[in-house]
Structure 1
């Protein structure tokens, strides 16, 4: 029966590892490492199901090659992190897709993440509030144990009761998931930054609001942000051993 699934398993492994190599060549090492690890696991599943000895040898050689490269990347990333020199840049082109919060941030939300800081002056309008909610939902779904989310956003005379009510509802909803939402306001905030207490710092030029308005409520991309077109923006990723504290 396992033989029936081999073509699909192999195709999945090839697809993930191809993406790993592309990310590797683009110096997006942390993302590449995650893809290498996922692809290697898929290839190992294929190896277990293969009966032909010559194919087993070929798969073992491929697995070893990818494992060696993944180990090299891991050592390189750890060295840069230790020296405080890690910097990765991702350019999101205008109208591109495939950059949901999960796709963009998943490689950085492991390693004992429990606390998150979001500094974004533009969590005001309805679509921006939904963006923040989706960001929170993404954290809940990922393999981490976030207990506290801090939001620092703008405070001005135009701040609406609708925003206050929406943030209060998000806070209450997160509380039901055993996550505390701490909301602070600033009249001078300008920069946008996401900081994780595992050392990762993500600076998105447009903050969380880098998605274009969907063409309609029933158009592709309305619900799935991986299919939503993006505005052009730049994402800079750093790592520091000195994480922010409350």
Structure 2
């Protein structure tokens, strides 16, 4: 019963996201919930219960397939747009939670455009993103960062990027850093075509209350500033990243 309740909660979350047209997030919930229901159904001995579970599996599977077709159609037409509103002081918005579902074997090249990867905590945010990319994108070969120079501690900024470059090379990934004083865009471009635009860039987390509290390392537990995340897809990205 606990397993079934867990599946129901995941699927309810899927329906909620589905209603808000956050289709790729809804799809993740449907797939997770369906897996739990299918496992439960296989272990069920009561025929009536098994029949009920089978009906629910078919119902959610059909909706998941409909969403897949819808997302594919919108991608093909260049009309895909998903938006996440991050409220002030809210939690649960680590980078992997926000857009980890788009980080897969298709990603070979990532461009990060953010004028504020300069101070220590901002560069640490970029480091956290790089860690997720390394773990999630097995065919990743290049990360390109476009940012601005830190006039106050340019030497430190350069040193941090040199250290990160050396480490990424161990994983067969090349880090390219390009400086621009006119950059305003804040977005993460994946060679698979997905573009994640975060209103405040990577630096939308509030400083932790102290160095020994929840959220210091796990960004899902860190309070956030209010910002908007827009996710779109462009077939032209593959050509520009090639």
Shorter-chain TM-score: what band?
over 0.9
Give the match's secondary structure for 2:241.
Answer: coil
For the pair 1:71 / 2:65, whether they are aligned, the reply is: yes
Per-residue Cα deviation, 1:66-125 (whole angstroms, up to 9, x for no partner): 001011111111111110011111110000000000000112223611111000010011
From 68, 79, 82, give the equivalent of 1:85: 79
Question: Counterparts of 1:161 and 1:136 in 2: how far apart (Å)?
Answer: 21
Give the match's secondary structure for 1:33.
Answer: helix
In structure 2, the gaps of 5 or more residues are: none
From 138, 161, 164, give the equivalent of 1:167: 161
In structure 1, the gaps of 5 or more residues are: 1-6
Question: Counterparts of 2:192 and 2:175 in 1: how far apart (Å)?
Answer: 18
- Aligned-pair distance for 1:142? 2.1
Distance change (3 Å), C-alpha of 1:144 and 1:57: farther
**1:139-150 alignment runs, 5 A limit:** 139-142=133-136, 144-150=138-144
- Aligned-pair distance for 1:143? 5.6
Per-residue Cα deviation, 1:167-226 (whole angstroms, up to 9, x for no partner): 111111111122211111112111111100111111100000010000011111111110
Partner of 1:176: 170
Contact 1:47–1:56 (CA under 8 A) maintained in structure 2: yes
Question: Counterparts of 1:183 and 1:43 in 2: how far apart (Å)?
Answer: 46
For the pair 1:138 / 2:128, whether they are aligned, the reply is: no
Q: What is the aligned-residue RMSD (CA, Å)?
A: 1.4
Contact 1:119–1:151 (CA under 8 A) maintained in structure 2: yes
Question: Counterparts of 2:178 and 2:153 in 1: how far apart (Å)?
Answer: 13
Question: Counterparts of 1:101 and 1:149 in 2: how far apart (Å)?
Answer: 16
Partner of 2:16: 22
Question: Counterparts of 2:220 and 2:115 in 1: how far apart (Å)?
Answer: 24
Deviates more, 1:152-161 or 1:222-231: 152-161
Partner of 2:220: 226
TM-score by length of 1: 0.93
Distance change (3 Å), C-alpha of 1:142 and 1:9: farther
How many equivalent pairs are there? 240
Give the match's secondary structure for 1:234.
Answer: strand
